[in-house]
Amino acid sequence: MNGFLSVLLDIFRQPAVIVALISLIGLALQRKKATDVMQGTIRTLVGFLVLAAGAGVVSNSLTPFGDMFQHAFHVQGVVPNNEAIVGTVLVKYGSEAALIFFFGMIVNILLSMTSRFKYIYLSGHVAFYMATMIAVIFEVAGLPTWGVLLWGSIAQGLIVTVSPALVQPFMKQATGTDEVALGHTGGAGIALGGLVAMLTRSKKHPSKSTEDIKFPKGLGFLRDTTVIVALSMAVIYVIVALFAGPAYIEAKLSGGQNFLVFAVLQAATFSAGVFIILAGVRVVLGEIVPAFKGISEKLVKNAKPALDVPMTFTFAPNAVLIGFLSSFVGGIVGMAIMAVAHATIIIPGIVAHFMTGAATGVIANGVGGRRGAVLGAFANGLAITFLPLLLLPVLGDVGLANATYSDADFGVAGVIFGYIGKSGGQIALIAGVIIAVVVFYLASLLMTRHERSKAAAVAKTE
């Protein structure tokens, strides 16, 4: 039994497998031919692996950039990096985290079936990261193992159901479709960016889209996303490399390769990763959206697949770069404020700023144009700088490490449940989860009433 459970958990930790299984089930429920089911499932699996490979390339090219940045500007502090902190947590709470992740998926489906929030969270890797944080917070509160699993799974299911719902109103404006949702632990920060974009847009002086940026004819090649990303990142990498100095880079990072050549190649590698991501996204969206109709028709009516942030990149490629840079600037400003205040310094997590900043740029651009993309992503950058600082005290011994969780959902959920548990103990934490469930269904009921009254008003006018 333990062996079977271990295999099952290994399967469901792989987002590519989860998405492929969803595609298989959806196509099968539509009674497609066996060959069509096989083709769609394989294309979804391969497309997601291509997307993941691109994300890995981007991440690997950003790692030396982060090292150069810290060395160049002599910054020491806590680095928000999900992979680093998860590795630490799994040593102590691995079993609890895996079970919370698994049962949290079931809670996500049940909540989607019984409410207006019909989002099936398919980004398995970040959902698993969330489960590790939930395990830590509920263990620190002193709950017995069964209580950690029960209440932790409910909290996990709530978080991954609510997060896509927060972003969806902005997502529809940015993508022009309501068929897919965003499933990522940066959801709260991305929704904040969309809200900032909405609040800062002007009817008198509307901001043009980032995709309307006009290049002179001689610079027409800059319309190519791959080219503009590579050139922009090359400038950034070279500037940071010059500050870091050739001695450090050639001794510690490049293996003796000239430091400027290394910097330019890393920038080109970053662009290659973005290119691969975009290719994978096109394949996954082309297969998963039609397949998901089968699931929404048979299991959860009108359900939407909540997919990872790279899924948004094809809707506004220019906003991807603008969002990343604006979010990163927000992180630097936040770091400077912490330094002045003599607080623990949260060093900008490059991968987090790229993934969530880029997505925020796309979403905020759809809501408020270029101005929205810049200001919205900047707000996200501030959020994922200060939220990790607030999260540290509720992580127990794990909070003493030199790494922490990076994305906004970790900060929001962790601060809410963590401080409830820290101040009120086990009973308060359980009450907090129950209250969250009640609020969830009240919000669902209010949405239903609002839609009915809206439909009635439309009927009267007709």
What DSSP assignment string belongs to 202-238?
A: -SSSPPPPGGGPPPPGGGGGGGSHHHHHHHHHHHHHH
Position 61 scores a pLDDT of 80
pLDDT single digits (tens) 196-245 = 999 988 777 777 887 877 766 665 555 566 776 788 778 888 888 998 89
- Return the domain boundaries, the chain: 2-212+262-452
**Alpha carbons 137 and 425: distance in angstroms, whole number:** 11
Q: Which two tokens stand for residue 202?
A: 């002007």
pTM for the full model? Answer: 0.79
- Higher per-residue confidence, 435 vs 351: 435
Beta bridge partners of 346: 78
Going by pLDDT thresholds of 50, 70 and 90, the confidence category of residue 165 is very high
Burial of 417 (0-12, 13-18, 19+ CB in 10 A): buried
pLDDT single digits (tens) 321-378 = 889 889 999 999 998 898 888 887 887 877 788 889 999 999 999 888 889 999 999 9
pLDDT single digits (tens) 121-134 = 888 778 888 988 99
**Alpha carbons 108 and 92: distance in angstroms, whole number:** 26
- For 309, the 3-state DSSP assignment is helix
CA distances from 284 to 33, 38, 288, 364 (A): 20, 14, 6, 23
Q: Which of 78-92, 158-172, 375-389 has the lowest mean pLDDT?
A: 78-92
